[in-house]
Chains A and B, each alone.
Chain A
């Protein structure tokens, strides 16, 4: 006999609830009523009266087993919904916040970051964000009263960054092109501390997610963030998302064009774009301006490389149709040498073709990458060019006046410090410092400075997670050492972009004290991992525990192994970018068991490639063995100084395949 319970998530706070018959909805699965097939229909009718949607959403039956007086959901996802994330047993599912508690004043009321290289908002911009927070409050109100159905409300809340996940609502906040001021980071810490459960998660889109929001708190949280010029606008939904870039933009020694200016222009152009806010599917743009692609532009819907032409003017190379997910593609090139005034016009032409012709009958085939392949790239490019040629001459022209108006809002950092030799001397005596400098710093265009990466990947930790206290520490360090400026990288770490070389030993000491001095950037333990089934409603497997086990196993060898990108996704949507990891892992559900497909040879940079699946999926417990065997084989096979990816490119998958499947 199949036993089932009825479950859903409460509208007001997103908490998973279980139907207890005459007692209504309960927060604990053990208190739920269970039904056999015969009783289910009547029970569902009782649980789902006509106005049920005003209180509980996504009401459905799930299978359970009955053991020693307790009910256990059969599906892994439902177990996690019932008990809370498996990786945070300190945070059980259920109600945790008292909504009536008085909150302290906002950090932004006493703190400011006058020298950070963030785009300067004024009161007008701030009013825009305050109003958006109020508008979201109105939408929530309309939803609660039933003026908007769940079906209508969902895209609207998504467009404001609000998802309904397994345990609660998730709020995704945009960090435009990954640039934050210390004050903004403190404001994020405040939201983490008071509206969430004390932490946040930095994502591969250079954004931050809060996992435990109550829907009724979201307008207040957005209002708090608006006071520090941050928001959740267009961080989800079928619209143009946060534009990403190189985390070292404006600082990197190898940069030719600072992409932040154009990323900000694209942000302003795409925010509330009246024509392109209800696209067939989400739309992601990335832009870089250095010799090396640190933003994976070739796996974006539109990828832009900026460089200088023969006379030194910035121009753009435009790619489109790259993407990961269920059908990964490297983008096709549309244009070289596109002049600055034409940037938005060309993007308009691409989006217009996509909005008119992108598929709307099947969400899995709705991205622009599919349209381009179905039309054939040449036909698509011709259509974009025709559309571009037919735009009115002044339409969306990026005039010099406009570029200057936006540029004027970016303060130029003053970087007067020279290298006084302090760092070099300190490194002679301190091997830990020397190793951290080698692994975690990046050359700066000003010779007296470096950019310093703060790893959010401590071995055994959760990739990209930072506690409110850690955010406050990093904000203080940014004030002390980096003009109050912080970057978020697409590999889920933080960066202090402008640190004087002479200050690095002191910074390192402070990081060690705060437990933030992990020296693993670009190494095997610097793993990209999506939240996976511990949090995400879409996931089919967990990502975090697998990343933890791999990191624990390989940490002792990581410096010997050298540069290696391991990327893990908990489902085919590929938020963990597994296709472009040198080693990629995709978690899938096989008859109720979490197993992992291994891909090799992916790359996200200017040599972008989609990794190839090497064979049958590996069970969870065997993944660390498989990766270790792979690494041992690589260490034997590599030539001097050869990275794993280069050895793979030289030898192919064969030698690695053998050792992986010998492990189980």
Chain B
């Protein structure tokens, strides 16, 4: 399946060092990730949002390597995935990379309204 980066460009495929299932016990796994090059997080179905929390927790723990989303997710979720710290994406068969590129073409930045409010309060000040 095609692999893309956060700019929706196709990149050459590399095997992940570990694939974390959505019910992974994070406390046990976090200390073991440090030096790994590629950590994959599996989305069994796009509605299952555990992967978002797993990614945030891994990044907040300080993991710097490639964090990869695999399984089933939608172009409509691309910006959220990026916000949570994913850096590569094994796109599902039903949704080709071009649709992910289209999701990036929006004029606005992803993220919560509140972050925008803060950024803009600072701009005005």
Contact = CB atoms under 8 A, between A and B. Distances in A.
Interface of A: 124-125, 127-128, 131, 135, 139, 147-149, 152, 155-156, 238, 265, 267-279, 344, 352, 355-356, 360, 391-392, 395, 399, 401-402, 404-406
Nearest to B74: A152
B75 to A, nearest CB: 9
A272 B110 contact: yes
28 contacts: A125-B113, A131-B107, A139-B76, A155-B46, A155-B47, A265-B114, A268-B112, A268-B113, A268-B117, A272-B80, A272-B111, A272-B113, A274-B84, A274-B112, A275-B80, A277-B80, A278-B47, A278-B48, A344-B114, A352-B53, A352-B56, A356-B26, A356-B53, A391-B60, A402-B114, A402-B117, A404-B121, A406-B117
A355 B117 contact: no
Nearest to A124: B120
B118 A405 contact: yes
B49 A355 contact: yes
A395 B112 contact: no
Contact of A278 (B52, B56, B107): B52
Q: Is the interface of B mostly helix, strand, loop or mixed?
A: helix
A156 B46 CA distance: 11
Contacts of B84: 274-275
Given A265-B114, A395-B60, A401-B118, A275 B52 contact: yes
B101 interface: no
B47 A238 contact: yes
B121 A274 contact: no
A356 B54 contact: yes
Interface in B24-54: 26, 46-50, 52-54
Nearest to A269: B114
A663 to B, nearest CB: 47
A135 B106 contact: yes
B121 A405 contact: yes
A233 B56 CA distance: 23
Contacts of A135: 106
Contacts of B57: 352
Given A131-B108, A156-B76, A356-B26, A275 B56 contact: yes
B83 interface: yes
Given A269-B114, A273-B112, A391-B60, A356 B80 contact: no
B89 to A, nearest CB: 14
B99 interface: yes
B103 to A, nearest CB: 9
A147 B76 contact: no
Contacts of B106: 131, 135
Contacts of B112: 268-274
Nearest to B95: A147
Interface string B91-125: 00010000100000011101111101110111000
A624 to B, nearest CB: 43
A374 B120 CA distance: 43
A268 to B, nearest CB: 4
B6 interface: no
A399 B117 CA distance: 12
Contacts of A360: 48, 50
**4 tightest A-B CB contacts, nearest first:** A278-B49, A405-B121, A274-B83, A268-B114
Contacts of A399: 118
Interface in B65-89: 74, 76-77, 79-81, 83-84
A113 B106 CA distance: 31
